[in-house]
Amino acid sequence: MTQPATSATKGPDDAPAPTPAGAVGFAIPHRDRLSFNLDVDICVIGAGLAGLTVALEAARMGASVAVLEARQVGWNASGHQIGTVMPGFGVPIGDLIARIGFHDTRDLWSLAKLGMDYVRDLATEETMPGINLTQGALEVSNVDIGDRLIGRLQMLGEDFSTEVEGWQIDHVRDVLKTDRYFHAIHYPTAFQLDGRKYLRGLEALARQAGVRIFEDTPAVSIDPSGIRKRIVTPEARLRASDIVLAGNVHLGAPLQRLSDTLLPVWRYAALTQPLGARLAEAISFAGSVTDTDGIDHYRIVDGDRLLWSSPETTWAAQPKRLGGAIRRRIRTVFPQLGAVEIDQIWSGVVGQTVHGMPQVGQLRRGLWVASGFGRQGLNTTAMAGQLIAQAIMHGDERWRLFSPFELVWAGGRTGRIAGQAISTAVRAGASAAGLLARYRERAAAREAIHEARLEAAKQNARQARPPRPPKPALADQPAAAEPHETTPAQ
């Protein structure tokens, strides 16, 4: 997902500044449809972050690459609207270990970190002017998790070689002036960027490497059999040795069965109007903040604006209808901000798999898939793009680490209803757990105050009590008569 055009997030269409020497040019080329037959080594279907990364890396390795996009480049690219790039996946690390074991989990985690490093290496001001990269991400807890925090920090730091810091309650509330958060995990090497600038920079790099990108060109049918696969578009035919399906939930009728393995989730985000000094008084953390339940995700942009993502649905709703919900959520967490005004609000859809992990790998010889990146798409799309390009060009088989996460039907309409119900229940449960945690904290504070007052009252009572008069001395008693000596009878 990409951000709307603001002074911090405006894209290349909005009067870009002159490009520094060595930087990627952001001028948008003429939008071409595929109107002639074409033969290439690799055909990528979907010009989002994953598809563009596959194309860029494969072209750098010498392949001829064509990208087919049914609409426009990156019109609904994966990646959270906040633009946070973190290590790992959207599945708790303990759940991964339980499913695939410790060693495979550690290998997957290393790949995800490589994806994060890849984005960092590309997203520089020299290469992508205006990328606005900021450091640090904070994962805050809505409940008191002091004991669990220590174990998780040890696992991430010692077993998974991830740079993390544990923040105590006082530290968290010093930078986030709200009583809704307790402990936190700080990822100092995580970062944020302008998602739209990154997408356009990735597109420009791909074009410079020789990738041919065709927009308004949906794949009408696909024949993956044989050595040379065939793709039919509305105006032309294309042949390729390998096809990469990177269209997420929008692959369309030819691959509807694959799209049906993804639950579409629409996430809504808003950018507030300038809030002035009151925002700095409420939030003094420069990076992004997300809670452990995945309810809220936000950060400061432009110095005094708040970029906030919270509601989600399994159907497309008008973003403006969710503006009130976002305003109320901001006021719930930071009441001192008062009534905030929303400047822009938008939405984006991501594909969520049943198991929560990305779909990365080979469906059959020469037919590859890269989709299902969910909410954590920036690092994982970069990772998937590299894995698939290296697999096609050099036979790299690290993509097999994703084999345990098979394609599972997401349930269609029933799945959407169930997904919305589960999401609502999770949010309600998190809200109830947070309410209970804050109640316990206040009760403990009241009890501590009561105990302190009681002890102080006892101390005061001891100090105010008049000293006891000394006991009167006992009157002298006559000495006991010594026994008379008796003289033995003569």
Over residues 80-94, the pLDDT tens digits come to 468 999 999 988 898
Alpha carbons 309 and 318: distance in angstroms, whole number = 15
What's the pLDDT score for residue 382?
Answer: 96
Q: How would you classify the pairing of strands 38-45 and 65-68?
A: parallel
pLDDT band at 247 (very low <50, low <70, confident <90, very high): confident
Torsion of CA 404, 407, 413, 414, to 10 degrees: -40
What's the pLDDT score for residue 164?
Answer: 95
Put residue 282 in one of left, alpha, beta given phi > 0 → left and psi -120 to 50 → alpha: alpha
User: How far is residue 268 CA from its own chain's centroid?
Assistant: 14
Alpha carbons 484 and 486: distance in angstroms, whole number = 6
Whether the per-residue pLDDT at 108 is higher than 80: the answer is yes
What's the pLDDT score for residue 90?
Answer: 86
pLDDT band at 385 (very low <50, low <70, confident <90, very high): very high
Whether the per-residue pLDDT at 58 is higher than 90: the answer is yes
Q: In terms of pLDDT, which residue wins out, 180 or 419?
A: 180
Alpha carbons 432 and 435: distance in angstroms, whole number = 5
Is residue 232 a part of any domain in this protein? yes
Residue for token pair 């597109």: 203
Is residue 16 a part of any domain in this protein? no
Q: In this structure, what token pair is assigned to residue 315?
A: 């159907």
What's the pLDDT score for residue 417?
Answer: 53
pLDDT band at 253 (very low <50, low <70, confident <90, very high): low
Average pLDDT of the chain is 82
Is residue 299 a part of any domain in this protein? yes
Alpha carbons 469 and 485: distance in angstroms, whole number = 45
Q: What is the pLDDT of residues 161-206, one digit of tens each?
A: 999 999 999 999 999 999 999 999 999 999 999 988 999 999 999 9
The answer to whether 373 touches 50, Cβ cutoff 8 Å, is: yes
Is residue 472 a part of any domain in this protein? no
What's the pLDDT score for residue 11?
Answer: 33
Is residue 459 a part of any domain in this protein? no
Is residue 78 a part of any domain in this protein? yes
Is residue 484 a part of any domain in this protein? no
Q: What is the pLDDT of residues 273-315, one digit of tens each?
A: 999 999 999 999 999 999 887 789 999 999 999 999 988 888 8
The answer to whether 123 touches 131, Cβ cutoff 8 Å, is: yes
What's the pLDDT score for residue 22?
Answer: 43
- What total number of domains does the chain contain? 1
- Give one DSSP letter per residue of 286-303, joined into a string: -SEEEETTSS-EEEEETT
Q: What is the CATH classification number for the domain harbouring 73? A: 3.50.50.60
Please provide residue 350's backbone torsions phi and psi, each rounded to the nearest 5 degrees.
-120, 160
What's the pLDDT score for residue 36?
Answer: 96
Q: In this structure, what token pair is assigned to residue 212?
A: 């041919």
Q: In terms of pLDDT, which residue wins out, 407 or 237?
A: 237
For residue 154, how many other CB atoms are within 10 A of its CB? 12
> Which percentage of the chain shows pLDDT scores above 90?
56
Q: What is the pLDDT of residues 349-358, one digit of tens each?
A: 888 888 889 9
Which residue range is the domain that position 214 belongs to? 38-432
Name the strand (E) or helix (H) holding 310.
Answer: strand 305-313
Chain length of the chain:
490
Whether the per-residue pLDDT at 3 is higher than 50: the answer is no
Whether the per-residue pLDDT at 142 is higher than 50: the answer is yes
Q: What is the mean pLDDT of residues 139-167?
A: 87
The answer to whether 20 touches 126, Cβ cutoff 8 Å, is: yes
Is residue 476 a part of any domain in this protein? no
pTM of the entire predicted model: 0.80
Name the residue among 429, 193, 150 with its Cα closest to residue 294. Answer: 429
Residue for token pair 């969710």: 322
Rounded to the nearest 5 percent, the helix, strand and coil shares of the chain are 40, 20, 40
